[in-house]
Structure 1
Amino acid sequence: MQEFQVHILAADRTFYDGPCVSLTVPTSDGELGILAHHSPIIAAVQPGTLRYQAPDCEAQLAAVSPGMVKVENNEVLVLVDSAERPEEIDAARAQREADEALEALLQKKSLQEYQVAQGTLARALNRLRVKSNYTGKH
């Protein structure tokens, strides 16, 4: 398969920077699949599972938070608040965050606090989903 260059950057680190043969990014319109020579596009990334495959490697998963993706000139830039490999996710901590966010949603606070709790809940549930789908393959 043909390759393209991918830069996956989280707020606190470079998650992956290198060649890729396929990339799937969660967007508000569903999953966006990207292969070499994809047409230019800019899209919003939603919390979900990002999948990428480097040449001669198995597909890798990551739990990503909101951000954006830009495809141009056979190069892809993914900017997200956070990106975590399944083995980096602490399931107990994610469950606590989900429980706290649910409690905050039930307390009927201000609209801003409600929206923050919704975002926290979405990220925590996504982290749990990615962790549970991880079978230990490397």
Structure 2
Amino acid sequence: MAEFPFELVSPERLVFSGQVEQVVVPGSDGEFGVLAGHAPVMSTLKPGLLTIFAAGTEPRYLFVRGGFAEARPDGLTVLATVAMPLEELDAARLAQEIQDAEEDVADATDDAKRQAAQEKLEQLREFRAALAQSGLAAGPTPGH
């Protein structure tokens, strides 16, 4: 299978940079797969699993939230507000993200802010449910 360059960047670091065969991106309008030569497209991200397939390796799963993806015939770039390998995402952190989102809904000062916070909360809950159904698990909770 043909390879193409892929970069995943978060505000803290360059999370991944390398040649890949396929990347599955959690777009706001649904997951989409990117292969070499993909038509140009831009998409915002929803919280979820981004999956990287590289030659000769097991798939890599990363949690992403916020940001956007830009696919081009010559590569893919994902800029994410949060991006971390699944093994770095412990159950306690995901629970904290959900709790923070619940507080944002409760503390919203107007309808627009409340709706945005509610959408984020729903996305995080969907991610937690999808993660549970996938058979993949977030990393261990602290102390385990």
TM bracket, shorter-chain basis:
0.7 to 0.9
Give the Cα–Cα distance (whole angstroms) in 2 for the partners of residues 100 and 135 of structure 1: 21
CA distances 1:9-33 after superposition (whole Å, capped 9, x unpaired): 1111111000000001011221111
Question: Matched residues, percent identical?
Answer: 29
TM-score (norm 1): 0.80
**SS of residue in 2 equivalent to 1:81:** strand
- Matching residue of 1:70: 70
Q: Is the 8 A contact 2:47 2:124 kept in 1?
A: no
Q: Is the 8 A contact 2:98 2:124 kept in 1?
A: yes
Q: Is the 8 A contact 1:36 1:74 kept in 2?
A: yes
Pairwise CA RMSD? 2.6
Mapping of 1:1-138 within 5 angstroms? Answer: 1-106=1-106, 109-111=109-111, 113-115=113-115, 117-118=117-118, 121-122=121-122, 124-125=124-125, 128-129=128-129, 132=132, 133-134=135-136
TM-score (norm 2): 0.77
Give the Cα–Cα distance (whole angstroms) in 2 for the partners of residues 36 and 44 of structure 1: 20
Q: How many residues align?
A: 136
Question: Structure 2: which amino acid aligns with 1:77?
Answer: T
Question: After TM superposition, what 4+ stretches of structure 1 lie above 6 angstroms from structure 2?
Answer: none
Give the Cα–Cα distance (whole angstroms) in 2 for the partners of residues 93 and 135 of structure 1: 13
More divergent stretch after superposition (4-13 vs 117-126): 117-126
Residue 92 of structure 1: how far off its partner (Å): 1.5
CA distances 1:41-96 after superposition (whole Å, capped 9, x unpaired): 12222221111112211111111012111122421111110111111112123213
Gaps of 5+ in 2: 139-144
Give the Cα–Cα distance (whole angstroms) in 1 for the partners of residues 130 and 15 of structure 2: 16
